[in-house]
Amino acid sequence: MLEQAKAFFMALQDNICNALTKLDGSEFEQDQWVREEGGGGRSRVLKDGHVFEQAGVNFSHVFGKNMPASATAHRPELEGRSFNACGVSLVIHPKNPHIPTTHANVRFFIAEKEGADPVWWFGGGFDLTPYYPREEDVVSWHQTAFDLCKPYGEDVYPRYKKWCDEYFYLKHRDETRGVGGLFFDDLNEWGFDRSFAFTQAVGNGFIDAYRPIVERRKDEAVTEEQRQFQLYRRGRYVEFNLVYDRGTLFGLQTGGRTESILMSMPPLVRWEYQYSPEPGTPESNLYERYLKPQDYLQLEK
């Protein structure tokens, strides 16, 4: 199981990097790293490109004698087990504020203990964080998510879409991080083959969802006001990743490579005391229309 998942994740990293290189025209830098406690990975980062200010696409496979606290917090029965964890995680911060920031990851865990059956599961998903959202982009993003989920059951998209809305939520701001997408974890009830196939569909579906948005928005004109709003809203991304994100905690608690874990941070960001957008502006549209969970595909009608 581990070798099948690992082979897919490494190929997925290649495919996504190739697609992003074609969109941007710039190449990724690669760092291969080794984790002292076991495992390692390869980190690829595109910096200061034509389209992407920074894009990081990481593959890692780490293992150890004890599950970290971030992994056992919601599954305490796994405490004391050894683990293998592998996957791909990516974050893309575009230059143009009309292109959304995005994040995706797919991962596989095995937790083992002598005298007990191994416990394994898949997790992952993708989400979109626009600054100047367009309905067309948001709907196409969710339509791609819906389409890849459909073969696995009518309830899969609504369930994992709701989980995404709830996970990527900044409680201290009372707002979602963006317009959501899919989030799933602890997936093993379908058996390995079906669970793995769904994880592959999510991983491969990411670029299908994101590429058309980039192509539509990458040449739109940008004002300095829009750039400043983008930098301000990037602050929400930082707040979520450092306060709530389980993947960030897992990486740090397992002694992962800090540079790779924190490549999700935007290269430039700003905060502003008590910022509030002017009513009736495109900036206020983000707050009023898009930073709360909703049914973008109108499936309930």
**Token pair listed for 233:** 């809203």
Among residues 108, 87, 105, 58, which one has the least CA distance to residue 262? Answer: 58
Residues in the annotated binding site? 89, 93, 103, 105-107, 142, 172, 255-257
Max CA pair span of the chain? 63
The DSSP bridge pattern shows strands 52-64 and 82-94 to be: antiparallel
Collapsing DSSP to helix, strand or coil, 59 comes out as strand
54 DSSP 8-state letter? E
Q: Are 6 and 84 in contact (CB under 8 A)?
A: no
- What are residue 62's DSSP bridge partners? 39, 85
Residues in the annotated binding site for a divalent metal cation? 93, 103, 142, 172
Instruction: Single out the catalytic residue among 50, 74, 98, 103.
Output: 103
Residue 215 — φ and ψ, nearest 5°? -65, -35
Residues in the annotated binding site for substrate? 89, 105-107, 255-257
Reply yes or no on whether 98 is catalytic.
Answer: no
DSSP string, 261-291: HGGGS-SS----TT--PPTTSHHHHIIIIIS
Spatial separation of the C-alpha atoms in residues 260 and 59, rounded to whole Å:
9
- What are residue 59's DSSP bridge partners? 42, 88
Among residues 86, 70, 89, which one has the least CA distance to residue 78? Answer: 70
Active site residues: 103
